[in-house]
Amino acid sequence: MKQNYAICGKRILIESPLPLTEHENFSIFAVNEGETDIKITYNVAEKLPETPVNTKKTPIGAFVSWEGEKVFRHNPMGVAEGALSCYRVTDTSESQVYFTNQSYGVMSDFRYMWNSVSLSQLFLPFKILLFHSSYISTDGGAVLFTAQCGVGKSTQAELWRKYMGAEVINGDKAGVSVEENSVFAHGLPFCGTSGICKNKTLPLKAIVLLSQAPENKINRVTGISAIQSLMGNIYLDFVAPGETQQCVDALIDLLSKVPVYHLQCTPDESAVKCLAEKLGMRN
């Protein structure tokens, strides 16, 4: 079975010997055949292939090993063996993903497949970063609210919908592509528990780092401080060789084109007014 998707401006072809999970989130990103940027081949077997012995465990429990430029990323899922993705660090145009018969149904499910195929890593050579963020459309552009879980990304997005008429594109994740003369935010077919998942691409106006505070205060973040803060909210673990440098290079380029702010905020309309004033907008 073959299926083409257009995600973050790239065409992704998935080939599988078994049926792919059908879900509305993916259907809105499905496209007809065209020139492929990334080809992902699913392989189903009784057990996962052997990998090199120099393995490192990531903070989320995946296991990464490598041999030259080839990376092997094993993503377990509960008691199942999970999935093993194999790709090259600098050329991710083709990758192989291995599933066991027992784990295929779970690991190819739309909620987990982006992780099982290592999509964040496959996008990296294209200067595309996947952010843990709420993505809103306002005044013809995109604003991303990014922070760790529980800080208030969805709250601020909802406040902007209520008081500024913003449209929430994705409540939990966003893709960002850094291009030669511009930066774009992209909807993704994954949205965590928010349930808000739309296929929309807009020029990125700002990234807003959030923290909770008794009163609102905003300042622009630049240089190393901005890079370090943003890296903490990107879906990469920086274990594979070259991954850190590729990300830093993309962020340096991004910072030359898009402002990053730190908003210490309250969960009410006053936070909206504070950010809107900084962005030169009126509510």
Residue 155 maps to which CATH number?
A: 3.90.228.20
Same domain as 111, residue 54: yes
Give me the pLDDT at residue 146, please: 97
Residue 198 covered by a domain: yes
Same domain, 143 and 261: yes
> In whole angstroms, what is the distance from residue 34 CA to residue 32 CA?
6
- The model's pLDDT over 124-140, given as tens digits with 9 standing for 90+, comes to 999 999 999 999 999 99
Average pLDDT of the chain, as a whole number: 93
For 124, what's the count of Cα atoms within 13 Å in the CB-facing half-sphere?
26
Is residue 283 assigned to a domain?
Answer: no
Q: Give 185-221 pLDDT, tens digit per residue.
A: 999 998 877 788 999 999 999 999 999 999 999 999 9
Q: Please check whether residues 78 and 186 belong to one and the same domain.
A: no
Say whether both 94 and 225 belong to one domain. Answer: no
> Is the pLDDT score of 110 beyond 80?
no
- Say if residue 132 is in the same domain as residue 56: no
Number of domains in the chain: 2
Residues 8 and 144 in one domain: no
Range name among 5-14, 80-89, 171-180, 243-252 with the lowest pLDDT average: 80-89
- Mean pLDDT is lowest, of 23-27, 142-146, 164-168, for 23-27
Residue 157 has pLDDT above 90, yes or no: yes
57 in a domain, yes or no?
yes
Of 179, 161, 181, 140, nearest to 280 by C-alpha is 140
Using a pLDDT cut of 90, give the percent of the chain over it.
76
Is 283's pLDDT higher than 70? Answer: no
Q: Is 267 a domain residue?
A: yes
Same domain for 98 and 26:
yes
Residue where a domain terminates, one of 122, 142, 175 = 122
| Length in residues, the chain | 283
pLDDT band at 104 (very low <50, low <70, confident <90, very high): confident
Chosen domain end from 122, 146, 179: 122
Within a domain: residue 109?
Answer: yes
Tell whether the torsion through CA atoms of 111, 113, 119 and 120 is positive or negative: positive
H-run or E-run covering 231? helix 223-231
Q: Are residues 92 and 211 in the same domain?
A: no
d(CA 191, CA 237): 20
Q: Are 273 and 163 members of one domain?
A: yes
Token digits for 151? 């800080």
Domain limits at 23? 2-122
Do 178 and 111 lie in one domain? The reply is no
35, 65: one domain: yes
Angle value at C-alpha 76, between 71 and 78, nearest 5 degrees: 170
Residues 56, 145: one domain? Answer: no
| Residue 79 pLDDT level (bands cut at 50, 70, 90) | low
The pLDDT of residue 103: 87
**pLDDT (mean) for 101-118:** 84
Question: Which domain-ending residue is among 91, 122, 153?
Answer: 122
pLDDT at 43 over 80: yes
Chain centre distance of CA 200:
14
Please report whether residue 197 resides in a domain.
yes
Residues facing residue 141 across a β-bridge: 138
